[in-house]
Amino acid sequence: MKLSSLVFRRRLRRCLMPAVLLLAGLCVAAASLPTERSAARYGPRAVALYREWNQLLGKLQSVDERQKLAEVNQFFNRRILYREDIDNWGVQDYWATPLEMFGKGAGDCEDFSIGKYISLLVLGVSPDKLRITYVKARIGGPDSAISQAHMVLAYYPTPSAEPLILDSLVTSIEPASQRADLQPVFSFNAQGLWVGNRSSNVSKLTRWRQVMDKMKNEGFTF
């Protein structure tokens, strides 16, 4: 029995709609922010920064990835003060969620990197392209033998590409080859942990597991 063109199109839409809705739901569920109520737990400063952040991410949904990188990097580097954990939290090492950082209006290198990482996930950047990277940062010039622990976010346009480095202490986003002051030690994201070419289970990185759990409790999905 032949179907009219109109009937066929209607039946096709009915068949395809559940799949379309499922795919849309998967895209939305991939990464999303908590509600403003979660930010309110950390005070009025957190709410104000959350609103700015949420508005920025909404504006950037349809732009290309390079612009997403640039504007997310700029937001955190301009709107958040750099402050060491001992001054911010009274302890030597504390990994804050973005909302905790907003509450203080300040953070250190890992807090900036985590905030940028989550922002780019919410903007639809594949987690495969993003790795928070622990480095030894040389200080005192190219001939200096002095280094200190530091953390940056690396973005890989393709799996084999040279990464771009988003740094809390440097305004511009530079290819890794132009950051000779940084020596990578290990990198990680929500999916894994890498030391050189060797991968490992990210659960071994206790502080990262703890901050991911805190973010999920605040309402983040990723």
For the chain, list the domains and their CATH numbers.
Answer: 32-218 (3.10.620.30)
Q: Long-range contacts made by residues 32-38, C-beta under 8 angstroms, separation at least 24?
A: 32/122, 32/220, 32/221, 32/222, 33/57, 33/122, 33/219, 33/220, 34/99, 34/218, 34/219, 34/220, 35/219, 38/99, 38/218, 38/219
**pLDDT for res 29:** 46
Residue-wise pLDDT for 55-111, tens only, equals 999 999 999 999 999 999 999 999 999 999 999 999 999 999 999 999 999 999 999
**pLDDT for res 39:** 98
> Is it the case that residue 185 has pLDDT exceeding 80?
yes
Single-letter amino acid code for the residue at 194: W
Closest listed residue to residue 151, CA positions, set 183, 106, 119: 183
Per-residue confidence band for 8, with pLDDT thresholds at 50, 70 and 90: very low
**pLDDT for res 19:** 43
Q: How many residues does the chain have?
A: 222
Q: Where are the alpha helices (DSSP H) in the chain?
A: 5-30, 36-40, 44-59, 65-79, 85-88, 98-104, 109-122, 206-218
DSSP 221: B
Question: Can you give the pTM of this predicted structure?
Answer: 0.85
* pLDDT greater at residue 98 or residue 7: 98
Closest listed residue to residue 153, CA positions, set 221, 38, 73: 73
> Is it the case that residue 9 has pLDDT exceeding 60?
no
